[in-house]
Structure 1
Amino acid sequence: MSSIVIDRVDADDTTLECDVSTSADLERFFSDESFRTTYDVPIEDVPEGVLVIPVLAQVCPVAWANGADVYVDEVDATFARALEDVKASLLSMYDFLEGGTLYAKETIDADPESGGESGLLFTGGVDSTCSYVRHREEEPTLVSIRGWTITPDSADDENWNHLRSRVSSFADAHGLDTAFVESNMLSFLAHPMLLAHYKRHVDGAWYSSVGHGLGLLGLCAPMAYARGMDDLYVAATHWDGIDLEWGSRPDIDDHVRWAGTQCHHDSYDLTRQERLDAIADYVREEEPDLQLQTCNDRMDGNCGECEKCYRTAVGLRLSGLEPTNHGYPFADEDYREIRTALEEGRWILGQDEKFMWEDIRERARETEPSTPEEAAFFEWIDQADLDELVSESAPPLSHRLLRAGARNTPTRVYNTVYPAWASAKSGLRRVRSGR
């Protein structure tokens, strides 16, 4: 029988460490690392049933993909019920998931002190800034997580420092607290092996497509318990009407909860352009110099040249703001560059970007252009076939062959070969792109 056992849960000051063992058939999905997460508040007094939440939030989706059961000594009863609800949502979304059962020797009804606080997962991008605008009267603690898009590797230290500095500056300017969480959740999981086995079933990678809603929120449980945090918000990426298979959705995030804390998938009722409208209203009323950070290529500002920078700049214009005032170098001549890049397929875009450009097109149809260049772009995008221009590219044959081989390769061999192969491929891409 396939199984995952949480062997050890240990809290030392601000550090959480857990050991996991698995049945032989699941070994390939886990590295040799213990699961580790560090917080900036002491967690030693948090009950073990809450301390185990971060690791359960990472391993349970892997268990459900393999019909495996999970065993733990103690778990918070509220979170155990939440897992059943999240599992039902994921199983209804993905046919390849099989399910499984969580077995606990003891379930606890923890009774934390309510601090009346709220928290918001925050990067300073459009989505999380809109959520701040909507909930600013609650003065939410801004929570930033290292472990997914910014890895724990020393090579990402500079990016993490940039994010910490930016979030801290925003918090200081708005009278808010911060919470910084660092975890090895993706190197604890053998993410390349998960990708090799399940990429054919999902639109993106394992964590983005399956794991990140439950995973990121669950990481926050000990910190939220220690702080007396009643509500925890995560900003929506998509919006009502976009039915994409994605790891963070209302029918996942709104189910996540533990003793004292309820999680919320926020601003799903607004399209991305409407979120920019909310930010624009806030800018005009309260903070004319607000800066946003959304760049795909930099963490110390916006490059102004990647697809996401251009898309955000156009959205700001459509909301009546000048992009250059909010972190995006942009001129009318850039409209032609955007059109050319889309027509020539310079950007590898998925279905979610297609929906975002469609959102821009709908607003452009309602907007009077202010310059000839803008008018020409509006006319072009009104007629553009976005299904053709913004399409999912099939992975290179070399990627597909590697994944197919990995499904039948001994774990130790694969874990040795894949990092070297990926590093070499990454180096080639950097040389070819001139980066």
Structure 2
Amino acid sequence: MIRKNIVLKNTEVILDDSKVVFHQETSFLIKPYFREDLFINYDIDLSEVPISILNIPFVANIYPMCWFLGATLKVKTLDKNFFESIEIVKQEFAKFYPEILFRNSKLIVEQLDEIQYTPKNKAMLFSGGVDALYTYSRLDNKDVQLITMHGADIDIQNVAQWEKIKNITKSLELTKNNPNYFIKSNVRRFYRSKVEKLIYNNNQDWWTLIQHGLSLTSLIAPVAYKNGIGEVFIGSTLDAKNELFPWGSSYIDNYITWASTQVIHHGQESNRFNKMKILCDYFDEINLPTPFRVCYHNQNTKLNCSMCAKCYRAIVTLIVLGKDPREYGFEIETMHGSVEKFYDNLLIFIKGNVFNQAVYFYWLEIVEKMNEKNNIAFIFSDEVLEIKKYHKLKELLNKLKIDKSNKKKDFKEKIGVLRTKYYNTLNKYLK
């Protein structure tokens, strides 16, 4: 049998740049899955951080690939708590992907270190988006440390956009007294698109379905060691009722631990629409309107482009809530018929895109609120025109809601359903 091994040969720490580079040696069968070595840039002094802590992000990003490849990952040293927790995470992912239990993947560590520190602080992943702001608003947030990533949602090569986001994050009135930390990594570029094929019937991407919860939280490990962080919060993408399908950041995050740190997946009690409502009420309560950063469009040069899927959802949600989207980081022209043009473009977008998206249920949350009798939409300038357009929007979403529920699944979806039933049955016998 040809061996499938990935060996971490050297964890290079470049102190002048606060940079860690993981040099790996890979079997020739697995080499085509990788583009370059994984690296991470921090804005803290790394000189006293143990290698067993620095290695956590490498294992978190590589080992899940081994689950599907049937490969062995070899590392010289690793924190003992993380070693144990990632095996639990593997078992949780196996509930969605039982095939990984038969691929004979292994994590071999020469030396497990029991690292401990006094857990005196807490931190959270902070993007400035709805989920992050919701988590921030629910915490005792006075001293929480905010950690923002470059290379996750903003492409690592998009330096201009990153610098803009850093400046906005630092100057945000809501969080101006919170410590900010910034991490840069090629977590989404060190592997090739071939990795996407590891997931049968992949209707999203590796990052969304497998990687991002483990990846984003594990990158914080050296900061947690330096700052004595006991809890790391990551805002939920989905509410609990939508946790019925695989997702790379969900309740599974709660099993991630290292040293004296526990990861907490926060906010599943509320869906996206309700989060925005609660946030708007919160901003009103503290008298501090705060912009949402929801846009990651690769052509965006502003806080939000105001014309992509995420922007449209946020804008419509605010309109349904009776709020002016312009007060929350979005740009809507109101002169010379521009509002009519905005609604027309929105209707075209929904017809062509919304119910082809895997997250169409976000729009279902919106239309449910639109259907309520006491709903009063925000009016920009022309009440008669905008109410007419608003009702067209509501009619379209209700129609698409019906069409979606009646539409027959295509062949690929049928195969996916059969596969899920097969593995669910298999899973019962494995318990």
The alignment's TM-score, normalised by the length of structure 2, stands at 0.82
Provide closer, same or farther for how the CA distance between residues 288 and 368 of structure 1 changes in structure 2, counting only shifts above 3 A. same
Q: Distance in 2 between matches of 1:249 and 1:340?
A: 32
Q: Distance in 2 between matches of 1:205 and 1:187?
A: 13
Alignment map for 1:142-221 (pairs within 5 Å)? 142-153=146-157, 156-170=158-172, 173-189=175-191, 191-195=192-196, 197-198=197-198, 200-221=200-221
Aligned to 2:413: none
Structure 2 counterpart of 1:53, from 34, 51, 56:
56
Which region of structure 1 is more displaced relative to structure 2, 62-71 or 162-171?
162-171
Which region of structure 1 is more displaced relative to structure 2, 9-18 or 164-173?
164-173
C-alpha contact 1:171 1:178 (8 A) present in aligned 2: no
Structure 2 counterpart of 1:16, from 20, 24, 37:
20
Q: Map Cα deviations across residues 293-323 of structure 1 (whole Å, 9 max, x no partner).
A: 2124325222222222121011123334221
The reply on whether 1:364 has 2:370 as its aligned counterpart is yes
Secondary structure of the structure 2 residue equivalent to 1:24? coil
Secondary structure of the structure 2 residue equivalent to 1:129? helix
Q: Map Cα deviations across residues 193-229 of structure 1 (whole Å, 9 max, x no partner).
A: 212x236532211122211111111111112211111
Aligned to 2:137: 133
How big is the shift at 1:348? 8.2
Provide closer, same or farther for how the CA distance between residues 136 and 165 of structure 1 changes in structure 2, counting only shifts above 3 A. farther
Which region of structure 1 is more displaced relative to structure 2, 381-390 or 296-305?
381-390
How big is the shift at 1:137? 3.0
C-alpha contact 2:170 2:176 (8 A) present in aligned 1: no
C-alpha contact 1:128 1:235 (8 A) present in aligned 2: yes
Q: Map Cα deviations across residues 144-196 of structure 1 (whole Å, 9 max, x no partner).
A: 1112332332xx1111111111111127853011111111223322x22212x
Provide closer, same or farther for how the CA distance between residues 386 and 70 of structure 1 changes in structure 2, counting only shifts above 3 A. farther
Aligned to 2:248: 247
| Structure 1 unaligned blocks of 5 or more | 395-435
Question: For residue 355 of structure 1, what is the amino acid of its counterpart?
Answer: F
C-alpha contact 1:18 1:34 (8 A) present in aligned 2: yes
| Identical-residue share of aligned pairs (%) | 24
Question: For residue 229 of structure 1, what is the amino acid of its counterpart?
Answer: I
Structure 2 counterpart of 1:337, from 310, 333, 345:
345
C-alpha contact 2:320 2:375 (8 A) present in aligned 1: no
Provide closer, same or farther for how the CA distance between residues 389 and 307 of structure 1 changes in structure 2, counting only shifts above 3 A. farther
Q: Distance in 2 between matches of 1:172 and 1:383?
A: 39
Alignment map for 1:168-317 (pairs within 5 Å)? 168-170=170-172, 173-189=175-191, 191-195=192-196, 197-198=197-198, 200-242=200-242, 243-250=244-251, 252-297=252-297, 298=300, 300-317=302-319
The reply on whether 1:105 has 2:110 as its aligned counterpart is yes
Provide closer, same or farther for how the CA distance between residues 387 and 293 of structure 1 changes in structure 2, counting only shifts above 3 A. farther
- Report the aligned-residue RMSD: 2.6
Q: Distance in 1 between matches of 2:303 and 2:353?
A: 22
Q: Distance in 1 between matches of 2:404 and 2:355?
A: 12
Aligned to 1:351: 358
Q: Map Cα deviations across residues 340-394 of structure 1 (whole Å, 9 max, x no partner).
A: 3212x15684221x11001111222224234523344334433433664999x99
Question: For residue 33 of structure 2, what is the amino acid of its counterpart?
Answer: F
Which region of structure 1 is more displaced relative to structure 2, 262-271 or 142-151?
142-151
Provide closer, same or farther for how the CA distance between residues 117 and 22 of structure 1 changes in structure 2, counting only shifts above 3 A. same
Q: Distance in 2 between matches of 1:295 and 1:368?
A: 26
Q: Distance in 2 between matches of 1:387 and 1:356?
A: 16
Secondary structure of the structure 2 residue equivalent to 1:41? coil
Aligned to 1:328: 330
C-alpha contact 1:69 1:102 (8 A) present in aligned 2: yes
Q: Distance in 1 between matches of 2:318 and 2:241?
A: 22
Q: Distance in 2 between matches of 1:308 and 1:274?
A: 16
Provide closer, same or farther for how the CA distance between residues 88 and 326 of structure 1 changes in structure 2, counting only shifts above 3 A. same
Secondary structure of the structure 1 residue equivalent to 2:184? strand
Name the count of aligned residue pairs: 385
Q: Distance in 1 between matches of 2:174 and 2:237?
A: 26
Aligned to 1:418: none
C-alpha contact 2:322 2:376 (8 A) present in aligned 1: no
Secondary structure of the structure 2 residue equivalent to 1:265? strand
Provide closer, same or farther for how the CA distance between residues 299 and 54 of structure 1 changes in structure 2, counting only shifts above 3 A. farther
Q: Distance in 2 between matches of 1:287 and 1:43?
A: 40
Secondary structure of the structure 2 residue equivalent to 1:186? coil
The reply on whether 1:39 has 2:28 as its aligned counterpart is no
Provide closer, same or farther for how the CA distance between residues 110 and 173 of structure 1 changes in structure 2, counting only shifts above 3 A. closer
Q: Distance in 2 between matches of 1:327 and 1:207?
A: 27
Aligned to 2:321: 319
C-alpha contact 1:117 1:138 (8 A) present in aligned 2: no
Question: For residue 145 of structure 1, what is the amino acid of its counterpart?
Answer: M
Secondary structure of the structure 2 residue equivalent to 1:201? coil
Q: Map Cα deviations across residues 241-286 of structure 1 (whole Å, 9 max, x no partner).
A: 1123221111x21111101211111111110011112201111101
Secondary structure of the structure 2 residue equivalent to 1:4? strand
